[in-house]
Chain A
Amino acid sequence: MAYEKKHAEHAPAGHSGHNEEHFREKHLMLDPLPRGQMNEMVMDSMHTTSWKFWVVFGVLSAIVVYGLFYSWGVMIAEGLGVAGVNRPSYWGIFLVNTVFWIGISHAGTFISAILRVFKAEFRRPFTRAAELMTTFGLVQAGFSIFMHMGRVWLSYWLFPYANQRMLWPNLHSPLSWDLLAITTYLLSSTMYLFLPLIPDLAMARDRSNGWRKTFYKVLALGFRGTEGEWTHLRNAMNIFAFAIIPVMFSVHTIVSWDFAAATRPGWNSTIFGPYFVVGALHSGMGAVVMVLAVVRGTMKNMKYFIRPEHFEAIGKLMLIISMAWAYFFFNDYMVQWYGGDKWTKQLLHFHEAGPMGWMWFAMLIFNIAIPWAVLWNARWRSTPWIVFTVGLLINVGMWFERYIIIPISLSINRMPFTWRLYQPGIEIPLGIGTLAFFILLYMAASRLIPLIPVWEVQEGQMAHELKKFGRETVVTVSELE
């Protein structure tokens, strides 16, 4: 027995010959707890709030009030002159942040919808954490794009609304497509977040009192868990999971068209669509893993739900996406370089050897070299803080990538007389404000809604079973749906 246990610890994952205890320890799906206890654990994690939480909450609120609302107010009152955007970099960090936050929001739906469609079992405990990221990320993207506008108080002109003068938005403009795509994505991803939440809200409703009871009662829409309700819920979730995947691909492709459809050297690239989708997944997966590491490290009872196996599985995905990103990056670079256009060549040289060349190299190191060097190792990618660091660096690298595409590529154009480097101004507090607001929304949500989809975990645990065939312990999964 002692030998077996020792042996099992050293055996790589998937190797036969583990004993049952080892399986239980490793896999959440094979380690069932009584349903009542598990529900209590999730409720408990929502209700246990230490003073540290409130300190962080207070600091972030102050940052949001100053960075987001005050600074934006100043900018609206004074004009965009307080920002660093200037000819020729008419688009700066605002647009970088918009693309960045839309990218972050991608992985939520990716993990949730694609893994649900493919029935990947490891997704079960963290689909909600990922979906929340989608919704909250899109909120920040919305903030960033509206900040960017010169006359934000007239932003409703971008929407097709009936008016006396019969003036409609210009559907030739990629920005109009962008607005439609982002709105569609926000609506559908919010609904997709809400559907699997209903049974958990009902669970929370039955286990709380006071204002929380009313809150959950309203949100749970009277869900009682009858067979008919479950059938409807499953059908709706299935439809949404399939429907949201093309929406997700379209959104970031359309975001890339803001650049690809323009006449600028360095932007006018036909591969930008898939390149941006993969880039979004790259930063999004990094963000999911960071959220999971923080949730596991700071919230009560989360070590049971989020285990090294989940970091290991996401780590693999991160590695694959990093490789895909490297491929698209190389393809984009290669074709532009080979094209030999005078201005494009100059721009590529400016990227690498210009005053911001360090950013170009940092991007490659953070997005390719570090993930490849770290994530190949199963033990490293099962360690939360290591994957957290890699995820953080990937996000920094992907932010750099957008920064290189937008303000750095804009500083050089076909009119050398206007060349000028971009220096951010009030964009910095505003950008930090969106980041703080994202974390703040997430923290508030972690107190209000169950971060773990309990019913999904329980469903998975019911489907999984350990069986013994002779001396071999085998995991079996039955089809429940």
Chain B
Amino acid sequence: MMATLADLKISEVKLSEEQGGKWGMVIDQDICTGCQACVAACAMENNLTFVGEEDAAYGRTMHWIRIERFWEGEYPEVKMTPNQPMLCQQCGHAPCEPVCPVFATVHSQAEQLNLQVYNRCVGTRYCANNCPYQVRSFNWRDYERPEPLPNQFNPDVTVRRRGVMEKCTFCIQRIHKAQDKAKSEGREVVDGEFTTACAQACPANAITFGRMDDHESLVSQLAKQAHGVKHLEELGTLPSVTYFKGG
């Protein structure tokens, strides 16, 4: 019995080494102020749609990252827990991927990320049901963008239409840009050369992004800290985002 358990552990380690993300993120909840700058920056960078008052009130706001706030205890002894930015964890073993009937959500070999192929998606929404982190957003309608929002589209990112699922991509357009630049200069991408929109916008520097396969990079150094946790790791999803809380 113990031997089988040990075998299981070994295979898990192997799995995580093979399938663990190439790109990773560390979020320090202790210094996150909950200012939502990352949410706004992400929306600007990734052409997220503006759903309007009515749908927002119904809970259909489109964000690839959200700040979760919880409190403990009964009034008046209410204590806030640290803010928890939640985004796609870019699982190495993602539950969303196998359930899509048309291969619209797939694992990329090159970047080790979960990709959402917008023009392949037919909108069964199975991936969103099966995502334990509930970080996928669905385009319930074709939303109108009020002026001047149409003037600031990011040309590197697809604009999605109704009936399509979407989610955080770890700013894959920035990854590609940096990789292309590094390639043209005949070198590897340097740590800190670029970062995601959320990490760039964070005034408290609570979000660190970088290469996990580079053991010298800041993010892989941070991820090795003992008080780092990965959410719902027990499900075997191998998430790429590490959280610090109560350090």
Contacts and interface: CB of A to CB of B under 8 A. Distances in A.
Interface of A: 78-81, 85-88, 90-91, 148-152, 154-155, 157-158, 167, 169-170, 172-176, 179, 258, 261-264, 410, 413-418, 420
A151 B164 contact: yes
Interface in B101-116: 101-103
Given A90-B128, A155-B122, A79 B58 contact: no
B163 A179 contact: no
A438 B175 CA distance: 53
A216 B48 CA distance: 58
Contacts, number: 131
A94 to B, nearest CB: 10
B162 A80 contact: yes
Contact of B122 (A85, A157, A261, A410): A157
Contact of B141 (A78, A91, A416): A78
Interface string B132-171: 1110111111100000000000000000001111000000
Nearest to B163: A150
Contact of A415 (B86, B99, B163): B86
Given A150-B123, A170-B100, A87 B132 contact: no
B119 to A, nearest CB: 9
B101 A175 contact: yes
Contacts of A414: 132-134, 232
A78 B134 CA distance: 24
B124 A87 contact: no
Contacts of A413: 132, 134
Contact of B138 (A80, A179, A258): A80
A243 to B, nearest CB: 26
Contacts of B124: 148-150, 175
Nearest to A416: B70
Interface string B117-133: 00011111110111011
B163 A80 contact: yes
Contacts of B139: 79, 150
Contacts of A157: 102, 120, 122
A99 to B, nearest CB: 14
B163 A170 contact: no
Nearest to A167: B103
Contact of A87 (B100, B128, B130, B142): B128
